[in-house]
Protein backbone atom coordinates (compact mmCIF):
# COMPACT_ATOMS: atom_id res chain seq x y z
CA UNK A 1 0.00 0.00 0.00
CA UNK A 2 1.32 3.40 -0.90
CA UNK A 3 2.39 5.45 2.08
CA UNK A 4 1.50 9.03 2.64
CA UNK A 5 3.12 10.01 5.92
CA UNK A 6 1.30 7.86 8.40
CA UNK A 7 2.79 5.53 11.03
CA UNK A 8 1.19 2.11 10.73
CA UNK A 9 0.53 -0.58 13.31
CA UNK A 10 3.81 -2.13 14.48
CA UNK A 11 6.02 0.44 12.79
CA UNK A 12 8.78 2.26 14.64
CA UNK A 13 10.01 5.74 13.89
CA UNK A 14 13.21 7.06 15.40
CA UNK A 15 14.42 10.56 15.98
CA UNK A 16 16.88 10.98 13.16
CA UNK A 17 19.98 13.04 13.85
CA UNK A 18 20.08 16.53 12.39
CA UNK A 19 20.68 16.37 8.63
CA UNK A 20 24.29 16.70 7.57
CA UNK A 21 25.03 17.86 4.09
CA UNK A 22 26.82 15.10 2.21
CA UNK A 23 27.46 17.52 -0.62
CA UNK A 24 25.15 15.82 -3.11
CA UNK A 25 24.45 17.63 -6.37
CA UNK A 26 21.04 17.25 -7.97
CA UNK A 27 22.32 16.90 -11.53
CA UNK A 28 18.97 16.90 -13.27
CA UNK A 29 15.31 16.09 -12.96
CA UNK A 30 13.16 13.21 -14.07
CA UNK A 31 9.93 13.82 -15.95
CA UNK A 32 7.39 11.00 -15.61
CA UNK A 33 3.63 10.66 -16.10
CA UNK A 34 3.06 10.23 -12.35
CA UNK A 35 2.15 13.20 -10.14
CA UNK A 36 1.08 11.27 -7.06
CA UNK A 37 2.71 8.36 -5.27
CA UNK A 38 -0.48 6.30 -5.59
CA UNK A 39 -0.06 6.37 -9.38
CA UNK A 40 3.58 5.27 -9.47
CA UNK A 41 4.48 1.65 -10.11
CA UNK A 42 6.28 0.02 -7.18
CA UNK A 43 9.12 -0.87 -9.54
CA UNK A 44 9.70 0.31 -13.08
CA UNK A 45 9.13 -2.01 -16.04
CA UNK A 46 10.94 -2.00 -19.34
CA UNK A 47 7.58 -2.05 -21.11
CA UNK A 48 6.42 0.94 -19.06
CA UNK A 49 6.02 4.50 -20.34
CA UNK A 50 8.91 6.44 -21.79
CA UNK A 51 10.21 9.00 -19.28
CA UNK A 52 12.57 11.90 -19.79
CA UNK A 53 15.72 12.44 -17.74
CA UNK A 54 16.86 16.04 -18.12
CA UNK A 55 20.46 16.85 -17.22
CA UNK A 56 21.29 20.31 -15.91
CA UNK A 57 24.30 22.24 -17.14
CA UNK A 58 27.21 21.63 -16.75
CA UNK A 59 26.49 17.94 -16.09
CA UNK A 60 24.96 17.36 -19.54
CA UNK A 61 28.51 17.22 -20.94
CA UNK A 62 28.96 14.01 -18.93
CA UNK A 63 26.53 12.20 -21.25
CA UNK A 64 29.21 11.83 -23.93
CA UNK A 65 29.34 8.21 -25.09
CA UNK A 66 26.18 7.12 -23.29
CA UNK A 67 24.49 6.01 -26.52
CA UNK A 68 26.67 2.91 -26.62
CA UNK A 69 24.76 1.46 -23.67
CA UNK A 70 21.29 -0.04 -23.89
CA UNK A 71 20.78 -0.40 -20.15
CA UNK A 72 21.57 2.26 -17.57
CA UNK A 73 21.37 2.40 -13.82
CA UNK A 74 19.60 5.55 -12.62
CA UNK A 75 19.95 6.87 -9.08
CA UNK A 76 17.46 9.40 -7.80
CA UNK A 77 16.42 11.15 -4.61
CA UNK A 78 12.96 10.18 -3.40
CA UNK A 79 12.41 13.66 -2.10
CA UNK A 80 8.91 13.25 -0.73
CA UNK A 81 9.76 10.31 1.55
CA UNK A 82 9.82 10.38 5.30
CA UNK A 83 13.21 9.22 6.56
CA UNK A 84 12.70 8.10 10.14
CA UNK A 85 11.25 4.57 10.05
CA UNK A 86 13.40 1.59 11.07
CA UNK A 87 10.51 -0.91 11.05
CA UNK A 88 7.89 -0.73 8.33
CA UNK A 89 4.64 -2.46 7.44
CA UNK A 90 4.47 -2.29 3.63
CA UNK A 91 1.05 -3.93 3.48
CA UNK A 92 -0.26 -1.99 6.50
CA UNK A 93 -1.28 -5.28 8.10
CA UNK A 94 0.77 -5.11 11.30
CA UNK A 95 3.52 -7.34 9.85
CA UNK A 96 6.76 -5.40 9.98
CA UNK A 97 10.23 -5.67 8.46
CA UNK A 98 13.37 -3.63 8.85
CA UNK A 99 13.94 -0.82 6.41
CA UNK A 100 17.08 -2.49 5.05
CA UNK A 101 15.08 -5.60 4.24
CA UNK A 102 12.80 -3.56 1.99
CA UNK A 103 13.03 -1.48 -1.20
CA UNK A 104 10.61 1.02 0.31
CA UNK A 105 11.17 4.68 -0.57
CA UNK A 106 11.15 5.38 3.20
CA UNK A 107 14.78 5.14 4.31
CA UNK A 108 17.32 7.32 6.11
CA UNK A 109 18.79 8.37 2.78
CA UNK A 110 15.95 7.99 0.27
CA UNK A 111 17.95 6.92 -2.78
CA UNK A 112 16.02 5.03 -5.45
CA UNK A 113 17.63 3.01 -8.20
CA UNK A 114 16.26 1.58 -11.43
CA UNK A 115 17.77 -0.25 -14.35
CA UNK A 116 16.26 1.40 -17.42
CA UNK A 117 16.31 0.87 -21.16
CA UNK A 118 17.81 3.76 -23.10
CA UNK A 119 15.36 4.62 -25.88
CA UNK A 120 17.09 7.74 -27.23
CA UNK A 121 19.23 10.70 -26.38
CA UNK A 122 17.93 14.17 -27.26
CA UNK A 123 20.71 16.62 -26.46
CA UNK A 124 20.77 17.04 -22.67
CA UNK A 125 17.89 14.60 -22.18
CA UNK A 126 17.64 10.83 -22.15
CA UNK A 127 14.42 9.03 -23.01
CA UNK A 128 14.20 5.85 -20.98
CA UNK A 129 11.79 3.11 -19.96
CA UNK A 130 11.75 1.45 -16.55
CA UNK A 131 11.30 4.23 -14.01
CA UNK A 132 8.95 4.33 -11.04
CA UNK A 133 9.33 7.84 -9.61
CA UNK A 134 7.22 10.97 -9.40
CA UNK A 135 7.37 13.72 -11.97
CA UNK A 136 10.11 16.15 -10.93
CA UNK A 137 12.15 13.66 -8.87
CA UNK A 138 15.75 14.92 -8.52
CA UNK A 139 18.42 12.98 -10.39
CA UNK A 140 21.57 11.90 -8.51
CA UNK A 141 23.57 9.82 -10.97
CA UNK A 142 23.59 7.73 -14.14
CA UNK A 143 25.83 4.72 -14.69
CA UNK A 144 26.06 2.07 -17.37
CA UNK A 145 24.39 -1.08 -16.09
CA UNK A 146 26.96 -3.14 -14.19
CA UNK A 147 26.07 -6.35 -16.03
CA UNK A 148 28.00 -4.92 -18.97
CA UNK A 149 31.20 -4.89 -16.94
CA UNK A 150 33.40 -7.81 -16.04
CA UNK A 151 35.64 -7.98 -12.96
CA UNK A 152 39.21 -6.84 -13.58
CA UNK A 153 40.70 -10.04 -12.20
CA UNK A 154 39.36 -13.50 -11.35
CA UNK A 155 38.74 -14.16 -7.63
CA UNK A 156 41.87 -15.10 -5.68
CA UNK A 157 42.23 -17.45 -2.71
CA UNK A 158 41.52 -15.43 0.43
CA UNK A 159 39.17 -12.99 -1.32
CA UNK A 160 35.88 -12.31 0.47
CA UNK A 161 33.54 -15.28 0.17
CA UNK A 162 29.77 -15.37 0.54
CA UNK A 163 28.13 -17.83 2.94
CA UNK A 164 27.62 -20.49 0.29
CA UNK A 165 31.31 -20.66 -0.57
CA UNK A 166 30.98 -18.82 -3.88
CA UNK A 167 33.31 -15.84 -4.33
N1 LIG B 1 13.06 1.41 -7.92
C2 LIG B 1 13.48 2.14 -6.76
C3 LIG B 1 14.29 1.23 -5.86
O4 LIG B 1 14.07 0.00 -5.85
O5 LIG B 1 15.21 1.73 -5.18
C6 LIG B 1 12.34 2.76 -5.99
C7 LIG B 1 11.32 1.77 -5.49
S8 LIG B 1 10.08 2.56 -4.48
C9 LIG B 1 9.19 1.10 -3.94
C10 LIG B 1 9.01 3.26 -5.67
C11 LIG B 1 7.88 4.01 -4.99
O12 LIG B 1 8.41 5.20 -4.40
C13 LIG B 1 6.81 4.49 -5.92
O14 LIG B 1 5.84 3.50 -6.14
C15 LIG B 1 6.24 5.69 -5.16
O16 LIG B 1 5.24 5.23 -4.24
C17 LIG B 1 7.43 6.19 -4.36
N18 LIG B 1 8.02 7.39 -4.94
C19 LIG B 1 8.30 7.65 -6.22
N20 LIG B 1 8.86 8.86 -6.39
C21 LIG B 1 8.98 9.39 -5.17
C22 LIG B 1 9.50 10.61 -4.66
N23 LIG B 1 10.03 11.55 -5.46
N24 LIG B 1 9.44 10.82 -3.33
C25 LIG B 1 8.90 9.88 -2.51
N26 LIG B 1 8.40 8.71 -2.92
C27 LIG B 1 8.43 8.46 -4.23
Asked, for residue 33, whether it belongs to a domain, the answer is yes
**Residue 165 predicted with pLDDT over 70:** no
Provide the domain count of the chain.
1
pLDDT of residue 21: 81
Asked, for residue 56, whether it belongs to a domain, the answer is yes
* Interval 5-49: pLDDT, tens: 899 999 999 988 887 788 899 999 999 999 999 999 999 999 999
Asked, for residue 130, whether it belongs to a domain, the answer is yes
Distances (CA, A) of 27 to 68, 81, 106, 138: 21, 19, 22, 7
What is the percentage of the chain residues whose pLDDT exceeds 70?
95
Ligand 1 centroid distance, CA of 109 (Å)? 12
**Residue 94 predicted with pLDDT over 80:** yes
- At 146 the three-state DSSP class reads helix
Kindly give the number of the ligand 1 atom that is closest to the alpha carbon of 43. 1
pTM of the model: 0.88
* Interval 111-135: pLDDT, tens: 999 999 999 999 999 999 999 999 9
Residue 63, domain extent: 23-80+112-147
Ligand 1 centroid distance, CA of 42 (Å)? 7
For position 131, which CATH number holds? 2.40.30.70
Asked, for residue 57, whether it belongs to a domain, the answer is yes
Amino acid sequence: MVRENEIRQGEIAVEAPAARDAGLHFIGRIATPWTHRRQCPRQGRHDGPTCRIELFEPWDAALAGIERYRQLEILYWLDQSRRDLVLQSPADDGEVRGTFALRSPVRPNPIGTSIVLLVAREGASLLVRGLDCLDGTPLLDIKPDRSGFVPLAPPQPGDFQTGDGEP
